[in-house]
Amino acid sequence: MIETSVRIGIARLGPLVLDVRGALGDPRNSVVARGLCLDEISGPSGVDELGGAHVTGTVVVKTLAGPPIDPRLVPGGSIKALYDADHGLAGWWDRERCVGEWSVRTPGIPSWDVGAPMRPVIAWALEESGCVLVHGAGIVGRDGVILIAGRGGAGKSTTAMHAVASGYGCLGDDYCLVDPRAAVAHRVYGTAKVHDTEYPALAHRLGTLGAAFGRCEPPDHRTIVRLPNSIMSGQIVGVAVPVRTPSLAGSLVPCSGSVLLREIAPVSILQLDVDGRVALPLIAELLRSVKTYELHLGVDRASNVEALGSLIGAPLFEPFLPV
Amino acid sequence: MLGSLPSEKGFETAMIDGWQVCERVAHDRIDDEVVAIQLETGEYFSMRGAAADLWAAFATGTDEKALAAAIWRQANLNELELESSIKKYVSELQEASLIERAQLEHASEAVLLTPFYDGLVVERFTDMQELMLLDPVHDVEPESGWPFKASTSLV
């Protein structure tokens, strides 16, 4: 068994701070730790230095060959827990004591948990913070952030990584931490999943930054890569749901926020088992306060990124190699 | 029957047999659409127009009579059609575990905001159920605790 203590803290209006260096005894996770921002935002003792922390606590991460964690634990009251036998994942969080555990079975840690570990525990820790983990990719331009929300396979990650290759910042391709009242999105994980059909071209454009970090489990044929920039937060100016179209060029088409509520809320709430009675109004509040769109994805990937640029402005960085 | 009954303290209001939103349901409205998620089953629902308007009354508790009054003011339905419409709507919501029976002090008035009554349509989505992680709170063996699954589901 490898066991390590993880400090978890959420600063008021600040980013999630999660130090997972050395977690699982796998050096690859130190990459995740940088993505999780502790080093880049506030130094190694960031949790303490940020001050005004809304939630702080400790998560013990274990890898196990046998059954997961303490069988005497009975969830309920202040304790939330899950046991995913199929993937060998188990975890719990006690909101009163701000202590939790995250266990993964070895061998065979699901690659998506390497790229984005402990999502449920993070979501539970956030439940009373006024922030919410939203299922969506956050793309950052000079004029703000657009959250692209949608189901798996809808085109979020592909669009996000093409935007990254064009010089835009990215707060995450799958989940972002959102403060709905301020309409601000924060990065949680410094990784993204790229579909195998897109990976060779993106890896070529991104160079070493597009190097594979891990693999998703079949049938999800995706490669996990590091996000190549260190943008951690941004003001949300719009939320969009991708819609595949046969058109050549992509475009942003205004739509009702209710369409997005239906796309974002169920998956954000049910997949992470957070209290929907708290999270749903928070997501709705965000959608009432920003512009909402359908992102009509064209066959031309570059045009999809240009469509995003019409809302979020120019890229923050020089583009990587052209397509 | 509605009215007031005498009691030791004087008069107390008779309770009304009505409906209210179930405890384990999250819901919100944007524009003309209500999205409601049944957190136990993982199903979620969309209601627009009149169905969305009437839903608001369930949050504070209402009954069929109040729902019917709201529709009656706007829709060109005869009594049978109205009754059938309300019965089907309430039955759908109850069957989906979105609402449950409740004893109410008073039934909240329902208000139709939609300019045209277009029926009471509840769209049901089940595609998120497979994404739900096992929730051991409802699946735990009481004797041995978590993470041992109950031999029969308690849900």
pLDDT tens digits, B36-86: 999 989 899 999 999 999 999 999 999 999 999 999 888 888 999 999 999
Angle between helices A301-312 and A156-165 (to 10 degrees): 80
pLDDT band for B135, please (50, 70, 90 cuts).
Answer: very low
Closest CA to A124 of A276, A234, A285, A281: A276
Q: What is the mean pLDDT of residues B18-47?
A: 95
Query: Of B25, B30, B147, which is closest to A71 when you measure between CB atoms?
Result: B147
Structure-block tokens of residue A41:
């935002």
A153 touches chain B (CB under 8 A): no
First to last CA, chain A: 45
Residues 249-288 of A with CB under 8 A from B: 256-259, 261-262, 265-267, 269-273, 275-277, 279-281, 283-284, 287-288
Structure-block tokens of residue B154:
């308690």
**B32 contact residues in A (CB cutoff 8 A):** 256, 258
Closest CA to B104 of B61, B58, B66: B61
Task: Say whether B35 and A265 touch across the interface (CB within 8 A).
Answer: yes
pLDDT band for A220, please (50, 70, 90 cuts).
Answer: low
Q: Which residues pair with A30 in a beta bridge?
A: none
Query: Of A74, A84, A256, which is closest to B30 when you measure between CB atoms?
Result: A256
Q: ipTM above 0.85? A: no
Q: Which of A217-231, A281-295, B62-76 has the highest mean pLDDT?
A: A281-295
Query: Of B125, B132, B144, which is closest to A71 when you measure between CB atoms?
Result: B144
Task: Say whether A266 and B37 touch across the interface (CB within 8 A).
Answer: yes
Task: Say whether A271 and B144 touch across the interface (CB within 8 A).
Answer: no
For position B73, what pLDDT does the model report?
84
Q: How many CB atoms lie within 10 A of CB A94?
A: 18
Contacts of A48 (CB under 8 A, 6+ apart): none
Q: Chain B residues with CB-CB distance to A under 8 A?
A: 25-33, 35, 37, 39, 42, 44, 46, 125, 128, 131-137, 140, 144-148
Task: Say whether B134 and A82 touch across the interface (CB within 8 A).
Answer: yes
Which secondary-structure segment (H or E) carries B28?
Answer: strand B25-30
Q: What is the DSSP letter of A204?
A: H
Provide DSSP, B82-143: HHHHHHHHHHHHHHTTSEEEEEESSPPPP---SSS-----EEEE-TTGGGPPP-GGGTEETT
CA–CA gap between residue B11 and residue B2 (Å, rounded): 13
Task: Say whether B133 and A265 touch across the interface (CB within 8 A).
Answer: no
CA–CA gap between residue A279 and residue B28 (Å, rounded): 10
Say yes or no to pLDDT of B18 above 60. yes
pLDDT band for A90, please (50, 70, 90 cuts).
Answer: confident
Task: Say whether B35 and A69 touch across the interface (CB within 8 A).
Answer: no
